[in-house]
Chains A and B, each alone.
Chain A
């Protein structure tokens, strides 16, 4: 019975696939939890920094801070695209590309020059294939292993470039994660830093030492670093969230397939047995008949 053997083989194959997708799902959900914790641990610092920036902004002249000052003519725009190194995560990577490409094309149409900085192998191979888009830099390490020191170096390159006029604007395309099942890619401006709204009544109550301007100029680089760090951690968490969902539905589908295949297999096996029995009893009848 060839049909039975063929069914058995397919059943085995699907069962193996289900084991793999289940394993990836479990790993992704563990990593998602760990990343959410990591992102949560950075929040007190980030919130406090943002509050402090508002507090000292009142005593400072924002136009005197190079990171707050917009360039007069914007021609070169640096865009950091944060995607993943691996696939099997649903449409996570392609959603990032689908957000980045229109931004890049719009800049080209306006006669500006976008410089792409990409994180994630997937993004590197994707943008290498897009003809009219040029990639200036690819993050060399696995995105998953990134730490604050690496983000700091990256942020410093952007800030140095911005102040020196090598870029007139810096933006980041990343995936924002609200809950474990809701995330979406978006494009956000990084430099120039939006002018902090001075919390004037609070500022008057605070002793600032040294004066607000000096403090502000030291807060701003930290603020940029934290913004990039949060964007990268959120993107990573979104990647795992997306992978978990994709692998969960793959596991479920494999389960459905296994049950329908085993039904089919049992039916084929049963009809094989019935046919054999019929043959035997038919043969016996024939023998008795003579």
Chain B
């Protein structure tokens, strides 16, 4: 049975197809999944879920966190939000990054909760920029 990758978001199913390998931004570090991986549940950080299709081509999705489950050769990603790499809006991501950074500088250290939120926003924006840069260099527009 080949490996199947499903990427689900609360609003819709983003991707579902047979793949040969998956890499995902697990909280404990980036992880690679091949055929026959042991059953696993892990949390994801903001970052890129990338997969190789049987024909050798690559697909990449930006997720802003979520969960990943491997069970009998089905990799299910439950993403908080997700978007395909080629649909990333670099300008918006850069603006969001600047905003989050400014907020972090201005932040009084006693408001724990907002600090966590601003840090999460920064991590999301940085992950978007990383993937978007990488994707563009690998797939230059003709």
A contact residues vs B (CB 8 Å cutoff)? 38, 41-42, 44-46, 48-49, 52, 55-56, 147-148, 205-210, 214-215, 218-219, 222, 225-226, 229
Contacts and interface: CB of A to CB of B under 8 A. Distances in A.
A277 to B, nearest CB: 71
B98 interface: no
A207 B41 contact: yes
Given A210-B27, A229-B10, 10 more contacts: A41-B12, A42-B12, A45-B78, A49-B78, A205-B39, A207-B38, A209-B27, A209-B43, A215-B43, A219-B67
Contacts of B28: 209-210
A206 B39 contact: yes
Contacts of B12: 41-42
A24 B26 CA distance: 49
Interface residues of B, number: 22
Chain B CB count within 10 A is highest, among A55, A147, A207, for A207
Contacts of B76: 48
A282 B39 CA distance: 102
B8 interface: yes
A52 B6 CA distance: 15
A44 B8 contact: yes
B11 interface: yes
B69 interface: yes
B90 interface: no
B10 A208 contact: no
A206 B76 CA distance: 14
B11 A42 contact: yes
Contact of B11 (A41, A208, A215): A41
A206 B40 contact: yes
A148 B9 CA distance: 10
Contacts of B39: 205-207
A70 B10 CA distance: 27
Given A45-B9, A45-B10, A218 B43 contact: yes
A33 to B, nearest CB: 16
